[in-house]
Amino acid sequence: MQKLKKFFHVSWSDIQNEAAKLSHKLKGKRAWKGIIAVTRGGLIPATTLAREMDIYVIETIGTVGYDPRDLDKKPLPTITLVKEAPSYVGDGDGWLVVDDLADSGRTLRFLRQILPKAYYATIYAKPDGEDAVDEFVSRIDQNVWVYFPWEIDEWERDKNARPA
């Protein structure tokens, strides 16, 4: 695994702007049955996209792939499904799965086994995760750790723990 060298703090405004760009890329692709937000990181982008795209059905699916308290950001050996999507979602056909970031792609590859016919979209993607997502807005270097505005407590803790 490549050592993380840079940190990028995303603002609320960044999320709003990037989600608007993503909605323009997704509008007209198909008539969506709804959005499935990958919890927890996909909740805010999914809500923003739903408003931008006039989608009223939002479901969730939950996974855990790393320990956020780990300052080295090492992935856990396996992805754990902590909350299933509702059964009526089926194989995901017609559903838009939304997450904040495709980092290594592990989470989205894992979810494709569960929802193989869903369409996968993220705000950001790193090179190792690009092939796991169908649509994204901005590319981030692989060695950058992204902090989202809802992770401000992690940003402050990690910032203070890093050597100067």
Residue 45 to residues 34, 50, 100: CA-CA distances in angstroms? 14, 8, 6
| CA separation, residue 56 to residues 34, 59, 74, 121 (Å) | 7, 10, 36, 17
Global pTM reads 0.86
Name the percent of the chain lying above pLDDT 70.
Answer: 84
Q: 56 or 158, which is more confident?
A: 56
Q: Which of 91, 99, 128, 131 is catalytic?
A: 99
Q: How far is the C-alpha of 45 from the C-alpha of 144, rounded, in Å?
A: 20
Which one of 14, 100, 134, 141 is the catalytic residue?
A: 100
Q: Give per-residue pLDDT as tens, 84-99.
A: 999 999 999 999 999 9
In the chain, domain spans: 6-161
Which of 76-80, 127-131, 149-153: highest mean pLDDT? 127-131
Residue range 5-12: average pLDDT?
85
Catalytic residue, from 54, 70, 91, 103: name it.
Answer: 103
DSSP secondary structure of 121-159: EEEEE-GGGGGG-SEEEEE--TTEEEE-GGGHHHHHHHH
99 is catalytic: yes
The answer to whether domain 6-161 has CATH 3.30.70.270 is no
* Catalytic residue flag (residue 103): yes
